[in-house]
Chains A and B, each alone.
Chain A
């Protein structure tokens, strides 16, 4: 069965960067785009972008364009989302999700807390 296992919770200071990992299993990693979605405390879902593991090409939401980098390591079936110049309003749970018919499979989420 498909599994997406994300890295653990992070606490960062404003201005720092965070890199969240998402290890995939149970399917052919390079055949499906990986999306990243975040959810601030008590708020709704916000799509951040996707990466194509086969080509490395990515598509980011404009608001994150200059701060986010999505990458993959196909040798270990892992996707990464790095967000730089963190602010307090980046405090959120970050999810990876596999794109098939829609966002069919999700990681368990990674809480990133930005606090001085």
Chain B
């Protein structure tokens, strides 16, 4: 199985900050990576697919990059509504796996 390791696991940042979350895969997954945002008590929401393609309707402050084994999710200017846990997911091979999550707190 492909393991995904996110760092950091917890992040505290201020409104307006640039925030970066990293996801490392245990072996190459090309660009078959997605990022999800999950707010407390809600279902996950797709933010980015194919490593860098912004899902329709997602604010442009979110961006993704990377390929192979290292990927990043960047929020260019943190907003209060970005309080959430963020997960990466690989769709390169079965079983599909998720990272352990990064909990983002707003200072």
Residues of A at the B interface (CB closer than 8 Å) are 35, 37, 44-47, 59, 61-62, 95, 97, 101-104, 106-109
Contacts and interface: CB of A to CB of B under 8 A. Distances in A.
B87 interface: yes
Contacts of B45: 106
B89 A103 contact: yes
B71 interface: no
30 contacts: A35-B96, A44-B87, A44-B98, A44-B100, A45-B44, A45-B87, A45-B98, A45-B101, A47-B89, A47-B95, A47-B96, A47-B97, A59-B94, A62-B95, A95-B43, A95-B44, A97-B44, A101-B46, A101-B49, A102-B46, A102-B91, A103-B34, A103-B36, A103-B44, A103-B46, A103-B89, A104-B46, A104-B49, A107-B43, A108-B43
B64 to A, nearest CB: 11
Question: Size band of the B side of the interface?
Answer: 20 to 34
B56 to A, nearest CB: 9
Contacts of A101: 34, 46, 49-50, 53, 55
Interface string B31-59: 00010101000011110011001010000
Given A47-B97, A103-B36, A104-B49, 16 more contacts: A35-B96, A37-B44, A44-B98, A45-B38, A45-B87, A45-B101, A46-B98, A47-B98, A97-B44, A101-B34, A101-B50, A102-B89, A103-B46, A106-B43, A107-B43, A109-B43
